[in-house]
Amino acid sequence: MDSVRNPFAPGAGSRPPELAGRDAIIEEATVAIQRALLGKSVRSQMLLGLRGVGKTVLLNKIEDIAQQAGHVTTSAEVREKQRLSDLLAPRLSQVLRRLSLVESARRQAHAALRALRSFVSVFKLSYGEVNVSVDAEAGVADSGDLESDLTDLFLRIGEAAQAADKAWTLLIDEIQYLCEDDFAALIVALHKINQKELPVVFFGAGLPQVAGLSGDAKSYAERLFLYSAVGALDSEDAKRAIRQPVEAEGEVITDAAIDEIIRQTRGYPYYLQEWGYQCWERADEGQPIEAAHAARATIEAIRRLDEGFFNVRFERLTPKEREYVLAMARLGAGPYRSSDVADALGETHQSLGPRRAQIINKGMIYSPGHGDIAFTVPMFDEFLMRKYPPAQ
């Protein structure tokens, strides 16, 4: 069919043609956004799931909803090894500039900008973009302790949003890349805001390991966040994710073709889009997409995933780390006992600790439970077995 009309072609922000199966999460977020505007207490939401399940798409959707409802929004994605202060400072300055344009909030926004100024200098953030053209306020957000300074800053921003009769939505993606101290500081700051009932809502997204915090941060987090698991779509939703976009283009796809797609993708959103794309490319204009097209799509989709999605991630691992993940894959489908991986490599569980930790830090594997380990990319084990077939 005409590639120009292919509804599964990757577009801006990886927005899917049909956002299937996420109504409950969207509804929950919408309610929080509206409650914040009414000055009512809200719960922060944390979306956790593997790679390619649609977390970023959801955060984008939630940001749209918040903006339409009249929130000012700040969205950011943490990069590996990035500090929270680096990530937030320039973005907070933007949001405060916007709030300072509202007459009723000018004074509070200014106060918040002064707090930001202190924050920037105490954390030695060298940003042309921040360029906060106000004097620092002594004693606010300048202790050098991220936990209390971030709290000061968030409180000021919340007060400015309140004075503007607005609310502030903060969205942070790839939360698992925050170091433990930064994550703890974020949690404490959000917790304090919550107690003051300021109009601030937080949405985070990350790999499932984010739930594995320790100490005080953990007990705070459990009260603070509503955790939502984002996973593969169930069969009804997966069918809709494929059928709806095809039919919206005036074309038809058979049940048998859809069954093949679901069997191959197991309902994982990223893979559904890939298979949908390939099916469309293989079918003829005005003729139904059939099982035979889907079968050919499977071959092409797997080839493309192996070369792209899977391989770029594999390439980021060192030779030693590759050995480790290969040993995992050879044990079959996960999760795996880390002691079994150690046995397979002829090493001890302890000696492999640092290597395992590095692969976790790279976001390739995570620990779903004590002593267990699993891939963060669905079906990564199958990719590795294709790439390194067992000796005959």
- 90 contributes a contact to ligand ADP by CB under 6 A: no
> Of 151 and 209, which has the nearer Cβ to Mg ion?
209
Please enumerate in sequence order all residues whose Cβ is within 8 A of that of 353, keeping only pairs 6 or more positions apart, or say none.
Answer: none
> Of 38 and 312, which has the nearer Cβ to ligand ADP?
312
Range 136-145 contact pairs with CB under 8 angstroms and sequence separation of 24 or more:
137/111, 140/114, 140/115, 141/115, 141/116, 142/118
Are the CB atoms for 101 and 163 separated by under 8 Å? no
Instruction: Give CA torsion, residues 362, 368, 370, 373, to 10 deg.
Output: -50
Shortest separation between residue 58's beta carbon and Mg ion, angstroms: 9
Please state the φ and ψ torsions of residue 182, each to the nearest 5 degrees: -65, -40
Residue 173's SS3 state is strand
Which residue minimizes CB distance to Mg ion? Answer: 56
Please enumerate in sequence order all residues whose Cβ is within 8 A of that of 372, keeping only pairs 6 or more positions apart, or say none.
Answer: 335, 336, 337, 338
Candidates 34-42, 49-57, 265-273, 324-332: pick the segment binding Mg ion (CB under 5 A): 49-57
Q: Which of 6, 34, 45, 56 binds Mg ion (CB under 5 A)?
A: 56
Enter the DSSP assignment of 138.
T
Q: Which of 1, 6, 7, 20 binds ligand ADP (CB under 6 A)?
A: 20
> Of 22 and 293, which has the nearer Cβ to ligand ADP?
22
> Of 53 and 341, which has the nearer Cβ to Mg ion?
53
Candidates 32-40, 45-53, 94-102, 153-161: pick the segment binding ligand ADP (CB under 6 A): 45-53
Candidates 54-62, 156-164, 258-266, 337-345: pick the segment binding ligand ADP (CB under 6 A): 54-62
Are the CB atoms for 280 and 246 separated by under 8 Å? yes
- 376 contributes a contact to Mg ion by CB under 5 A: no
CA atoms within 13 A on the CB side of 289: 33
Q: Which of 130, 132, 150 is nearest to 140 (CA)?
A: 150
Q: Which residues within the stretch 247-306 sit at the binding site for ligand ADP (CB under 6 A)?
A: 269-270, 272-273
Enter the DSSP assignment of 253.
B
- 53 contributes a contact to ligand ADP by CB under 6 A: yes
Tell me how many residues contact ligand ADP (CB under 6 A). 21
Shortest separation between residue 233's beta carbon and ligand ADP, angstroms: 6
String of contacts with Mg ion for each residue 81-100, x by CB under 5 A: --------------------
Binding site for Mg ion (CB under 5 A): 56
Binding site for ligand ADP (CB under 6 A): 14-16, 18-22, 49, 51-57, 241, 269-270, 272-273
